[in-house]
A and B are shown apart, each in its own frame.
Chain A
Amino acid sequence: MSLTTVTYKGRTKQRLDMRWLSQAINESTNSDTARKLSLQIGNEKTNVGDVFDISGSLSNQTAILENSNQSMDYLGHALTKNTELTVKGDVGHFAGAELSGGKVIIDGSTQDYAGCGMSKGLIEVTGNANDYLGGAFSGDKKGMSGGTILVHGNSGNFTGDLLRRGTIMVVGNIGDYCASRMIAGTITNLGTIGKQVGVGMRRGTILLPHKPKDVLTGFHDCGRHNLGYLTLLLHEIRQFKSTFQSLHPMRRRVQRYIGDTTVGGQGEMLIWIG
């Protein structure tokens, strides 16, 4: 199986809507057809072939994008089952948005709204992710509703905003308002976390190595627990190749806080003990 490489050769500073690539991968489009797809850049209309080199066929539903930049939005948007996109470089907003079964590997950093509204699949980011990781499109009542996001660097503010289901794993630090308005799902990290953790949270789990500096008034300490299900969760987390594999597979002692009770929420914030 030959690898299909898509290389960006343009220089525009305008934003690029990359949904054409996902569409081509999902539909196993041959490269000639893909080159003829129309692409709007700023106020100009052009063809994909004018700004991208495509080598090999997209028919095997796997592609590598080279020379990407922060202007490229919607990379890996709505990729379906058995598809895979590897991006060499930084990407723009909405990377992996509405992903429904595919695999998006980003060898760089993402802008805002990575994995927004995704329902299935995996997004792996080797660099940092910005705000609203796994969040919702503005106006939507639900964010990410399934799948896994693994960030090897840090993530920004509002990580997991309106998260409904699925797991967000951040190896580094998480910014402010993590798990804001979270409906359910799991967020975990190994670094530090910012202010207002879990504000407006309803259900779900935030699993942290250290207690945040300011725990919200809506969160109540429920004492120390020895939770058996954490071994199952760790089994899931440790299957991905990342620093999370350094966690002991039988670790399950946590300090448990429940909240955000200001909105009647009963989500849990768990802090590892020992």
Chain B
Amino acid sequence: MAIKLTGGEIYDPAHQVDGQNKDLYIVDGKLQKSLTDNEKLDQTYDLSNCIVMAGAIDLHTHIGGGKVNIARTMMLEDAHSHPHPGSDILRSGNGRAVPSTFSSGYRYAEMGYTACFEPAVLPVNARQAHMELADTPMVDKGGYALLGNDDFLLNMIREGATQNAINDYVAWLLDATQCIGIKVVNAGGIHAFKYNQRRLDVDETGPAGSNPREIIATLSKAVHELGIAFPLHVHASNLGVPGNFASTLATMAAADGLPIHLTHIQFHSYGTEGDYKFSSAACEIAEAINNNKNVSADVGQIMFGQTITTSGDTMMQYFGHDHASPKKWTIMDIECEAGCGVIPFKYRDKSFVNALQWAIGLEIFLQVNDPWRVFLTTDHPNGAPFTSYPHLIKLLMDRSFRNDVFKIIHKGAQKASNLASMDREYSLYEIAIMTRAAPAKILGLSNHGHLGEGANANITVYRKQNDIEQMFAKPAYVFKNGTLIVKDGEIVETVQGVTHVVKPEFDRAIEKRLKKYFDDFQTISFNNFKISNDEMIECIGNEIETHPCGKI
């Protein structure tokens, strides 16, 4: 099957293509520069007056795993008030803040996304998470395994295990849980919470005998030495606490120059100035990102309205549980590996704190100079549902629209933020970087996020419109591996994506030690814990695509 896309304005930052007209050829799901003599063109799409980008990639969105399911069960009112009826080709579903699995896949595809990554796969829950992701159609998936609060790692660090042994454990875990990266949530903090500690600073020694700085340094070194493309994904300490920007800067420093990705950094950029003792430290954080080339971040922008916060960070979720709206919440430990906190939340534009959070997120977007190191996320569903991305893109691309919204938020927040003075407007090229090229590059997905020869034909075509939000909300065409899946914002065919994984090499000797640990302490046997490739494909239903490890 050969398809030609002609006449569109191409935005392909990986190949420095900035709005030039170029023809694209799709042959058997891959992109080609031109057709060979024996290939016959089957279909041509005239894309004049259209913008063409690679399929978008969301590198941080909670769409599968235990806590999302808890959120779905808890937010039945969300499910009830947002029904999505099925059709001849679509399965039914529901929900806006936490859509059901099928709905998540459909809504992402309708916005032109072709890959999504679940950032908190608890190793012991990995099977469940992959099962949910298998039920999320249309998009490619992947997960980051959660470490940094599990007894095995903390014991290793306390006992002074060698870096090689830790590397083996990390590699084994990635293999066993079928994940693509490692995430740390409040390093040591979730563990300390179980000992009734309510706060753990970066240089404070927790009950496990180690401090967050050591844990992050050890893990970022492990990820680097194993040659995993995606840097350590860090949810820093003290989320949501006024003055936490100092912890965030300390966390950046903990990586000691090695690559580190700080996630939902908006929640970690708060100062303590002003009448409310809550202020924006976006400037300090953005400056640190600008100055440290090893640091990347996704923003975790908030949007006003009802959502639900789901996090493994039981310590900080407990800190915020009083603000639950509607009033219901869950905090639980998961098998001594990490935790789970689910709290519904309503962000209000007339609340000083919420309004300033909104402004801080945008300030970070606008002050980080390099779009290759800042990613467009709302930390779905924590900041806002992912369906608000088109609105967020409009806020970034349209200064006057941004200032109009800024004028209606809490007056105190307006005074506390310098957002109105920021002139920067993101260009389509920069949006293409932060939603396509950069995530693919940082995740090590060589065939994704670009429109060069040999890339998977994941393509999103937007029809040019004055309203940027409308344009990004309803793409004219979306192709997934060469198949037309969305036309004019409506799904026309359903497909199943693959799961991206990495399988670094490791010394099998670690399994002996792990087996003893499992026999002594775990609720699941060592052999049952591991998810084999066969199980992943045949039982769970996720095709896997393994990406190479090694120095890049």
Residues in B neighbouring A40, C-beta threshold 8 A: 85
B76 touches A138 (CB 8 A): yes
Contact partner of A139 (CB less than 8 A), chosen from B80, B85, B327, is: B80
Q: In the complex, which residues 137-189 of chain A have their Cβ closer than 8 Å to any Cβ of chain B?
A: 137-141
B74 at the interface (CB under 8 A from A): yes
Closest to B88 in A: A45
Q: Is the CB of A141 within 8 A of B327?
A: yes
Chain A residues 188-243 with CB under 8 Å of chain B are none
B230-276 at interface with A (beta carbon < 8 Å): none
Give the contacting residue for A140; candidates B73, B77, B85; CB below 8 A: B77
- The residue on A at minimum CB distance from B328 is A141
In this assembly, does B340 line the interface, its C-beta being within 8 Å of a C-beta of chain A?
Answer: no
Residues of B within 8 A of A139 (CB): 73-77, 79-80
Does B326 belong to the interface (CB within 8 Å)? yes
**Closest chain B residue to A140, Cβ basis:** B77
The answer to whether B328 touches A137 (Cβ under 8 A) is no
CA distance A141 to B79 in the complex (A): 14
Total interface residues on A, using CB and 8 Å? 6
CB distance from A78 to the nearest CB of B (A): 12
Contact at B327–A137, with CB atoms within 8 Å? no
Interface membership of chain B positions 66-104, coded 1 if the CB is closer than 8 angstroms to chain A and 0 otherwise = 000000011111011000010000000000000000000
User: Is there an interface contact between B326 and A137, defined as CB atoms closer than 8 Å?
Assistant: no
Q: Write out the residue numbers on chain A whose beta carbons fall within 8 Å of the beta carbon of B73.
A: 139
In the complex, what distance in Å separates the CA atom of A138 from the CA atom of B76?
7
- CB neighbours of B75 from chain A (8 A): 139
* Alpha-carbon distance between A137 and B75 when the two chains are bound, in angstroms: 11
Q: Which residues of B contact A137 (CB under 8 A)?
A: 76-77, 80
Give the residues in chain A near B327, CB-CB below 8 Å: 141
Cα A237 to Cα B80 in complex, Å, equals: 33
Q: Which of B305-335 contact A (CB under 8 A)?
A: 326-328
Chain A interface mostly helix, strand, loop or mixed? loop
Q: Tell me which residues across on chain A come within 8 A of B77, comparing CB atoms.
A: 137, 139-140
User: What is the distance, in angstroms, from A54's C-beta to the closest C-beta of chain B?
Assistant: 23
Q: Count contacts on B: residues with CB < 8 A to the other chain.
A: 11
Q: Is the CB of B328 within 8 A of A140?
A: no
> What is the CB-to-nearest-CB distance from A156 to chain B, in angstroms, rounded to a whole number?
21
The minimal Cβ–Cβ distance linking B86 to chain A, given in whole angstroms, is 9
Q: How far is the CA of A40 from the CA of B73 in the complex (A)?
A: 25
Q: How far is the CB of A11 from chain B (nearest CB, A)?
A: 24
A140 proximity list for chain B (CB < 8 A):
76-77, 80
Please provide the chain A residues from 109 to 159 with a CB less than 8 Å away from any CB of chain B in the complex: 137-141
- Please indicate the chain A residues that have their CB under 8 angstroms from the CB of B76 in the complex: 137-140
Q: Which residue of chain B has the shortest Cβ distance to A139 in the bound complex?
A: B76
For chain B, residues 36 to 88, give those with C-beta under 8 angstroms from any C-beta of chain A.
Answer: 73-77, 79-80, 85
Within A33-67, the residues touching B (CB, 8 Å) are 40
Q: A233 CB to closest chain B CB, in angstroms? A: 29
Nearest chain B residue, comparing its CB with the CB of A142: B326
- Shortest CB-to-CB span from A16 to chain B, Å, is 15
Q: What's the Cα separation between A139 and B342 when bound, in Å?
A: 14
* Docked complex Cα distance between A40 and B328 (Å): 34
Q: How far is the CB of A73 from chain B (nearest CB, A)?
A: 14
Among residues of B, the one whose C-beta sits closest to the C-beta of A38 is B85
A162 CB to closest chain B CB (Å) equals: 12
Do residues B326 and A141 form an inter-chain contact, with CB atoms below 8 A? yes
Most chain-B CB neighbours within 10 Å: which of A40, A139, A141? A139
Residues of B within 8 A of A138 (CB): 76
Docked Cα-Cα span, A138 to B77, in Å, equals 8
Assembly CA distance A40 to B87 (angstroms) = 11
User: Quick one: which of B74, B80, B85 has the most chain A CB within 10 A?
Assistant: B80
When distances are taken between beta carbons in the complex, the residues of chain A under 8 Å from B74 are 139
Docked CA distance A138–B74 (Å):
9
Q: Return the chain A residue nearest B79 by Cβ.
A: A139
Smallest CB gap from A141: residue in B: B326
B362 CB → nearest A CB, Å: 32
Bound together, the chains give a CA A137 to CA B76 distance in angstroms of 8
In the complex, chain A residues whose CB is within 8 Å of the CB of B85: 40
Least Cβ distance of A265 to chain B in Å? 15
- Given the complex of chains A and B, what is the CA–CA distance between A139 and B327 in angstroms? 11
Closest Cβ of chain A to B491, distance in Å, is 18
Q: Which residues of A contact B326 (CB under 8 A)?
A: 141
Residue of A with least CB distance to B344: A141
- A227–B469 Cα distance when bound, in Å, is 60
Q: Which residue of B lies closest to A138 (CB)?
A: B76
How close is A194's CB to chain B, nearest CB, in angstroms?
Answer: 26
The chain B residue with its CB closest to the CB of A137 is B80
Q: How far is the CA of A137 from the CA of B328 in the complex (A)?
A: 15
Q: How far is the CB of B425 from chain A (nearest CB, A)?
A: 41
Bound: A199/B311 CA distance, A: 33
Distance in Å: Cβ of B97 to nearest Cβ of chain A: 12
Distance, CA A40 to CA B83, complexed state (A): 14
CA distance A141 to B346 in the complex (A): 15
Interface residues of B in 149-184 (CB under 8 A from A): none
Mark B residues whose CB is within 8 Å of A.
73-77, 79-80, 85, 326-328
Show 11 residue pairs from A and B whose CB-CB distance is below 8 angstroms, ordered by the A residue.
Answer: A40-B85, A139-B73, A139-B74, A139-B75, A139-B76, A139-B77, A139-B79, A140-B76, A140-B77, A141-B327, A141-B328
Shortest 10 CB-CB contacts between residues of A and residues of B = A139-B76, A141-B326, A140-B77, A138-B76, A137-B80, A139-B77, A141-B327, A137-B76, A141-B328, A137-B77
